[in-house]
Structure 1
Amino acid sequence: MTLAPQRADHASTKPQGINPRLRVTSDEPRPQRAALTGTGRPNPAAHLSPDDIEGIGHELDALRQEVMDSRGDRDAAYIRKVIRTQRYLEMGSRALLLFSNVKVKGFRPAWWLGTAGLSVSKILENMEIGHNVMHGQWDWMRDPKIHSTAWEWDNASPASQWKHSHNEIHHTFTNVLGRDNDLGYGILRVDEDQPWSLFYLFQPIWHVGNALVFEYSIAAYDLELGGYLAKRERMSEEEKATFRANRNEVLQKIKRQATKDYVVHPALSAVSGSSRTTLTANVVANLVRNLWTNTVIICGHFPPGISTFEKTSIDGETRGEWYLRQMLGSGNISGTKAMHVITGNLSHQIEHHLFPDMPSNRYAEIAPRIRDLMQRNDLPYVTGSLWKQAASVYLKVVQLSLPNKVEGERRRDVVRRELGKAWRSKKLGRRY
């Protein structure tokens, strides 16, 4: 689990526990932040002195302690209610799908209701329950059934691999170029500071395809499949054996998931002649869950106004600087209470990145105080409706599929030049 402050009262899900890089203060004086980033963009935190940033850290430490000290019966009741609701919704929806082939005036009401209910059930299980339980948000309850070390979610990615790539890597190195692989998941260019190549010309297609099969994309990402394919010739036998073991774990998880959704439940519907319609309902529910999850995640990480950071910027990083990076590297989604629940409260992405182990039902409570803190320190609090944020990301994906604008050179000329280089390289390779 990745946490910001060092918290002795929290039971970590990993032996190493808290990220050891994070300290209350630095051993050496921290430099004033530059007015511009390495690529010449304005630095939104340039006006803050090291003392200002340390003060922000202390204020956030105090806020966190206040909330964590007040955890109790109402929080436990909340997560148990959500889990109970999700399970009843799933059971009811699957019961309806036993009769999904029954038509009423040419309409299949059981299919539509069952598919809708199953879709919402899967979203709740993945986002408000699975994601947050595996962050250790409910470990303080000491309930072995709702604990980060025991939870296995309804998803293609095994919990252990997801916790490593998400809790330990992403939440530690949020938006650090070259360290946080969640920045485009290795297939998308979502920031101008990411180098451009011809591969990204097709990223609007990758983006839609990735959203449709998101659970499998995340499984491949957590497995670090791309890194293995790129480095396998240089890997030791021990590293290859580790990869094979992880690969087999993923394949077994996918097999279990596919058997449940695409074999067992359709077979149970055979008595009413609803096998085919139950199968299509499960396919649609998984697609809906994938699209929704992908949309919520991109809205929290990639809209305009969210900052990225260079590797060198986190050298000697203090806790206050880590907090600052989380605030600048995340964005929120505005909406109703129901919308917050169905997003797993990741509509409060800023608050979640600040306090990933805080119970998710508390994010809405602290959001006004976080916003006030950021406004007092003249920091941008990025937020907007789901549709606004999602549309801005899709537009960004299209724009960044092309190289950055350079004065005196058209982007299409850059693309043509790179295409020419690739063609010549290919011809030369054929010749030899």
Structure 2
Amino acid sequence: MTALQKLADNPIAHLSSEQIEEMGRELEAIRQSVLDTRGASDAAYIRKLIKTQRYLELGSRAALLGSLFPPLFVAGTVGLTVAKILENMEIGHNVMHGQWDWMRDPKIHSSTWEWDNATPSSAWKHSHNELHHNFTNVLGKDNDLGYSIMRVDEDQRWHPFFLAQPFWNVINALIFEYGIAAYDLELGKNLKVPKDERSAEFKAGAKATLQKIRKQMTKDYVVHPLIALPFGAALPTLAANVIANVSRNIWSHSIIMCGHFPEGVSVFEKASIEGETKAEWYLRQMLGSANISGGKFLHLMSGNLSHQIEHHIYPDLPSSRYAEVAPQVRAVFEKYDLPYVTGSFPRQLGSAWHKVIRLSLPNGWLASTTPKNAPKRVAQLYKMSTGGRKVRKAIQAELDQAAA
């Protein structure tokens, strides 16, 4: 059973077990074709990108030394923002996935890379690589799905707390790197445990995270402003670092929202992964992800997570090859009559935010509300927010009937 199988229009109902296994073999063949041709040009790509990113950051920080002059402030801030996005998205994220481990270069290896982010790479690799990618969109298993603070599926029982989830989502976007750090620590769960009963693992993780945050904040908000102080540019440099970090947070959050939250992306129940074969795992990745259409610059700045479907099917392949395999993967979708969820960045982001808002409200509330019955619906929402479970259940039944 999966949450998607409760839908009236089940996108996999027409597939037999044999067809799913055959589809898995076809996807594995695509993966093998990349492994067989991986080589010097791929290595040259990541090395050139890292070099470009570092020169861009260095040049931007140099420009900020003269940031009393508005053109240099703008150039330095924009350059620093782009450099930070590149380091996190196309470089750090993908290096830590092990996409470049085959090069045997200790400087570009998942075991040694430490990124420009609040959360330590070791914590991120556990929560992202081991948990999120294995349990993609499985309710109660994939904590990336709403980062434990949002309602992301109609089957989740509505509570008045969820009315605030659009607000929480905005806050999360602004401080995304710190939200990820808290999520990696499972902070919400661990803070409920009495201090003297918290595990040694959590305490060590919290200490490492605080050290990393201190290091990052010292670099951006103390060291570089102090370097700019003799040039009279300490405050503009501080402002530029704040703008660059917040912009990177919003961009990263938006790309991730587009990859897993738009309408049409499937959510699964825990029971769906019991006895799951590799082919069924492929199928879950296919239906639990969404792409963003666009040009080469968008793909680069998104860390090629604009090819989120291909990334989730092949998380260990070089990100620069996703554009190459995407048409082949889409052909597999079409062959087996599966929905390939894709769209422009504005469309996918709008769809994701619509879903966040829709699910912050009781099921059917938004769909059944019209200008004519709006006063009644608002009154019902107030009663559901202030009443007990019985009140919510009774009004929900009426909303379900109206929506149907």
Calculate the TM-score normalised by the size of structure 2. 0.91
In 2, Cα distance between the equivalents of 1:38 and 1:365? 32
Matches within 5 A, 1:196-207: 196-207=158-169
Aligned match of 1:314: 273
Q: 2:210 aligns with which of 244, 247, 251?
A: 251
Aligned match of 1:279: 238
Post-superposition Cα deviations, 1:198-217, rounded to whole Å, max 9, x if no partner, equal 11101111111110000000
Post-superposition Cα deviations, 1:347-387, rounded to whole Å, max 9, x if no partner, equal 00000000000000000000000001001100000000001
Matches within 5 A, 1:407-426: 413=380, 415-421=382-388
Contact 1:404 1:411 in 2 (8 A): no
Matches within 5 A, 1:15-34: none
Post-superposition Cα deviations, 1:26-74, rounded to whole Å, max 9, x if no partner, equal xxxxxxx89x846444221111000000001111111111111111000
Helix, strand or coil: the match of 1:180?
coil
**2:54 corresponds to 1:87:** yes
Q: Give 1:242 shift.
A: 1.8
Aligned match of 2:149: 187
What amino acid does structure 2 have at the position aligned with 1:413? Q
**2:81 corresponds to 1:119:** yes
In 1, Cα distance between the equivalents of 2:295 and 2:382? 44
Contact 1:403 1:415 in 2 (8 A): no
Contact 2:4 2:267 in 1 (8 A): no
Aligned length: 382
Aligned match of 2:356: 397
Helix, strand or coil: the match of 1:357?
coil
What amino acid does structure 2 have at the position aligned with 1:301? H
CA gap of 1:412–1:223, structure 2 versus 1, over 3 A, is farther
**2:197 corresponds to 1:260:** no
In 1, Cα distance between the equivalents of 2:100 and 2:378? 50
Q: 2:316 aligns with which of 331, 346, 357?
A: 357
**2:139 corresponds to 1:177:** yes
Matches within 5 A, 1:14-413: 37=4, 39-102=6-69, 108-230=70-192, 232-233=193-194, 237=197, 239-405=198-364, 413=380
Contact 1:156 1:257 in 2 (8 A): yes
Post-superposition Cα deviations, 1:225-255, rounded to whole Å, max 9, x if no partner, equal 011124x14x984x52221111111100000
CA RMSD of aligned residues (A): 2.0
Contact 1:151 1:159 in 2 (8 A): yes
Aligned match of 1:22: none
Aligned-pair identity in percent equals 61
Calculate the TM-score normalised by the size of structure 1. 0.85
Task: Report which of the two has the higher share of helix.
Answer: 2
In 2, Cα distance between the equivalents of 1:417 and 1:361? 49
CA gap of 1:345–1:229, structure 2 versus 1, over 3 A, is same
Contact 1:39 1:193 in 2 (8 A): no
In 2, Cα distance between the equivalents of 1:48 and 1:123? 40
Gaps of 5+ in 2: 369-375, 392-404
Helix, strand or coil: the match of 1:177?
coil
Gaps of 5+ in 1: 1-32, 103-107, 425-432
Post-superposition Cα deviations, 1:105-160, rounded to whole Å, max 9, x if no partner, equal xxx11100000000000000000000000000000000000000000000001000
What amino acid does structure 1 have at the position aligned with 2:255? V
In 1, Cα distance between the equivalents of 2:209 and 2:246? 19
Aligned match of 2:373: none
What amino acid does structure 2 have at the position aligned with 1:100? S
In 1, Cα distance between the equivalents of 2:35 and 2:386? 55
Helix, strand or coil: the match of 2:281?
helix
* Mean Cα deviation higher: 342-351 or 196-205: 196-205
In 1, Cα distance between the equivalents of 2:152 and 2:117? 25
Helix, strand or coil: the match of 1:186?
coil
Contact 2:117 2:177 in 1 (8 A): yes
